[in-house]
Chains A and B, each alone.
Chain A
Amino acid sequence: MANVLVVAEFAEGKVKKTTHSAATFAQAVAKGSGGAFSILLLGSGAKAAANELVGLGAAKVLVADDASLVNYVAERFAPTVVATAKKGFDVVVTAASAYGKDLMPRVAAALGAGYANDISQVKVDGAKIAYKRPMFAGNAYGWCEITTPVQVVSVRQSEFAAAQAAGGSSPVEVVKLEPPAAGGDRVEFVSFDQVKSSRPELTEASVVVSGGRALKERFKEILDPLADTLNAAVGASRAACDAGYAPSDLQVGQTGKVVAPKLYVAIGISGAIQHLAGMKGSKVIVAINKDPEAPIFQVADYGLVEDLFQAVPALVSEIRRVKSM
């Protein structure tokens, strides 16, 4: 029997969607092992948002709501997660977002627990839990187990669909905020420069249009009309981000975002190993590149060898024409 604690992600007064992927993992482990799961929501204003989580089948929704949690700093969040985990939980989980990847190893170390990052699948056999995770930029998958009494993991959002309403209403309980970890008085939040976008979130979009360095300064000019036509999120290769053609939080790849949309359109992307690691799980992949030898064509379902500056505008008009029929 494994009891699971989901650590929710919260920003600007709302529960982030990543939480629902972690909840899906928790539902599966709780069901498979005959245990239960609870959700811990930390943040300033968390209490008001707790009702977003009461329908997922959790035994409890635990809330730590304090003005000091207005901006995320690991040293301030980790101690409350650690104290809560010690109240009878066997597995602690978040999504493998920047938040989860920052926070959870710190939590694991405080608990003396092992930590497995970026889980793509879980198998429960009685009390035994095995986790599958990508390694070597997704060129291998390892099945592993964590040998400590408490196990800490983060899950790949693209592999765990958002949890659906499970019926019932979980009771909401306030938990005490623990003081910051040692060293917490030596870290100060300065600012968060947010990249505002009206487009769908990259990790949640059903269509992603991604551009490479070949787009140069015309990155936005060429990609935006296509993204608008497809209601797509915009992604980028590492080379495009490094060159400054696209903001770095658009990067898709081994160390950027991992996406698995219904349709991924790679424009002027050669297909380096570390890029493929972030999009190979897409259902349908389209590649447009004038180099017929580009490795991206090895994973593309549909490849078009053409100059993108001609092909993409033509693609936009053709999609509009077909959609208007």
Chain B
Amino acid sequence: MLPLPEFKLERPDQIGQLTELIGQPDSRIVAGGTDLIPNLKHRLESPRLLVSLGRIKELQGINSTDDGLTIGASTILSDIAQSGTVARGYPALADACRTVGTSTIQEMATIGGNLMLDTRCLYLNQPDGWRTAIGGCLKCAGNTCHVAQSGSGCYAAHSADTVPVLWLMGARLRLVSAQGERLIRLPDLYANDGIQRTTLARGEMIHSIILPKPRGFVSHRKLRLRGSIDYPLLLTAVRREGGGATAVLSALSPRPIEVHAEKASDLPQLAWAAAKPLNTHSVSTTWRKHMVRVEVQRALEATIHFGPR
């Protein structure tokens, strides 16, 4: 078995202790661990301190409010997938949760963890011996990018299944830190950089996800080669507004991309033109690009078939 690196584990039960601990240098938050633990085993990082969210009750749960819905960051995906409230108002979110990993992973993984999922790349998410053979990469113990040799940045792909739908649902995030708290729009969480992938400050974390009342039907598609387990090859969420439509696409670059069409029928072509898949996956880039048009078209059709006219 691949051993974990050595680390100290803290399990605070008060949010005050928690925000103090996550401000410490070389610390990482662990919730379900389904992303972090494999990455630690692969030695993508070796933090000194892991801070568990498991004992902080206020981070868990789904609550209806006058303005919509609040979901605690440590709520596990299967609870969201099975929630009647979510199913009634935000069915695409339940659908997206059900596509993460496997059903057993959905019992461990949290929604906050999914939002914070590390970016992924064929040349990064490998055991350390494998990465040594290629001399490492920009994101981990190297100075070349194997995806774009001439590039200066890291193109590891944003791969969080729940983000495109939450994005189109107008999700905002309540962030907390020892310094206080703030509210941001979900799209503002992500930087277009595979290494510095979020805009969170040191010591800052997602407390909860705040969804406004449902506005129009969002459809969601996850492209993968198997019916389970796989990370996305392409994520597509589409929402219509009036005669137009908006798509959010992911698994293409370090940050999801948003494409808007004044005329809904133009959306597949506009999305296709905007999508620039790279060699970050083991599957043909040409085919992934082709599939942008197909998936957006199908997501668009789903909004007609199932959503409000």
A binds B: no
